[in-house]
Structure 1
Amino acid sequence: MINLDEFKETIQHKDSKEGISESCNFLAYKIDDNGLSQYLGFKNGQMNQTDYFLINNEITKVQFIELTDLSNHIKECIFAETIIRSNSDSFATILGKSPKKAEKLLNSKIWSEVLGELKNKWMGSIAILERYCRREQYEQDLQYSLLIVLRDNADSRQIESLTFKLSGMMGRVSICNTKNIKHPLLLELI
């Protein structure tokens, strides 16, 4: 039997470039960087994965928790979307498509790096938890959700844009800042 308490730690962002660390008063189970994935035999860098996870007492719901500093990437995407909207006829001409189709194509390219990274972490984390369940001989299907925790400097517009882009892509996704983590953290596991 795997003792998950060995992987329990305070939820915190890795130090930023400025050396600033953000954390909250909640504990969760570490998946990456010497967490559960390595214990289960996955090598570091073998697959993308979230930082942490929580599991309810009935072992029916799992919430993955990804702490990330995507603020600059999201700002760039929002800015690029604004440019595309204001020049949609020009882009449509260049791409040989209708303005609406050109805008849709360009928006998908703009957001592809951010969304692709989160999607890969989602799928990798599910693979890790499924291996954990197999080792524990637990056969019930789990319900997965994702909590993305942005640094406190991310504004509400960034959170709304990312939420909109991820809706329907990966199941249930909540996004918040470090200081607002309590509400979505507790809601998802009820």
Structure 2
Amino acid sequence: MINLNEFKETIRHKDSKDGISEGCSFLAFKIDDNGLSQHLGFKNGQINQTDYFLINNELTKVQFIELTDLSEHINECIFAESMLRSNTDSFSTILNKSPKHAVKLVNSKIWSEVLGELKNKWMGSIAVLERYCRREQYEQDLQYSLLIVLKNNADSRQIESLAFKLSGMMGKIRICNTSSIQSTLLLKLV
């Protein structure tokens, strides 16, 4: 039997390039980088996965937790979309297409990196938890959800834009920043 307590850690963002650390006082189980996935035989880089997860005592609900600083990427996407919506000719001239086509291109190309990364982490994390369940001989189906935790400098527009883009793509998704994580966690580990 795998003791998940071996993977219990304080939820923290990776340090910024400036060495600034951001986290909270809550605990979760580490899934990537020397977490459960490696223990189950996945090699580093083999699959993408979220940073942490929580699983309820009844083993029916799992919440994946991805800590990320996508602020710059999200702002770039929001800016590009607003420029295209303003019907300026610069983008449509460059693309030699109509503004509607340019907006569609922005949605599919500019957002694709951000959305693709999150989708891959979603699917990879499910693979890890499904392997864990097989090893532990759990037979019930799990209900998965994803919590994306942006750094505290993320503004509400970034959170709303990302939530809108992700709606309907994956199961239940919640987005918050580090300071508001308490109200969004599936449960509080001790």
TM-score (norm 2): 0.92
Contact 1:66 1:147 in 2 (8 A): yes
Q: Which amino acid aligns with 1:81?
A: E
Q: How do 1:26-175 residues align onto structure 2 when only pairs under 5 Å count?
A: 26-87=26-87, 91=91, 99-175=99-175
SS at match of 1:181: helix
- Output one character per residue of 1:83-118: Cα deviation in whole Å (capped at 9) or x when no partner: 111236665576576543432232221100000000
Contact 1:24 1:179 in 2 (8 A): yes
Matches of 1:155 and 1:92 in 2, distance apart? 29
Matches of 1:90 and 1:130 in 2, distance apart? 48
Cα deviation, residue 120, structure 1 = 0.3
Matches of 2:93 and 2:135 in 1, distance apart? 56
Contact 2:54 2:186 in 1 (8 A): no
Contact 1:88 1:103 in 2 (8 A): no
Q: Which amino acid aligns with 1:165?
A: K
SS at match of 2:185: helix
Matches of 1:78 and 1:118 in 2, distance apart? 18
Q: Which amino acid aligns with 1:5?
A: N
Corresponding residue number in structure 1 for 2:22: 22
Contact 2:145 2:171 in 1 (8 A): yes
- Output one character per residue of 1:21-77: Cα deviation in whole Å (capped at 9) or x when no partner: 111111000000100000000000111000000000100000000000101111111
Contact 1:148 1:173 in 2 (8 A): yes
Q: How many residues of Structure 1 are paired with residues of Structure 2 in the alignment?
A: 187
**Superposition CA RMSD, Å:** 1.6
Quick one: structure 1 residues 31 and 164, their matched pair in 2 at CA, closer, same or farther if it must change by over 3 Å?
Answer: same
Corresponding residue number in structure 2 for 1:182: 182
Matches of 1:7 and 1:134 in 2, distance apart? 18
Contact 2:53 2:62 in 1 (8 A): yes
Q: Which amino acid aligns with 1:14?
A: K
- Output one character per residue of 1:152-189: Cα deviation in whole Å (capped at 9) or x when no partner: 000000000000000000111100000000111147xx
SS at match of 2:168: coil
Contact 2:85 2:99 in 1 (8 A): no
Matches of 2:23 and 2:106 in 1, distance apart? 36
Unaligned runs of 5+ in 2: none
Matches of 1:38 and 1:185 in 2, distance apart? 24
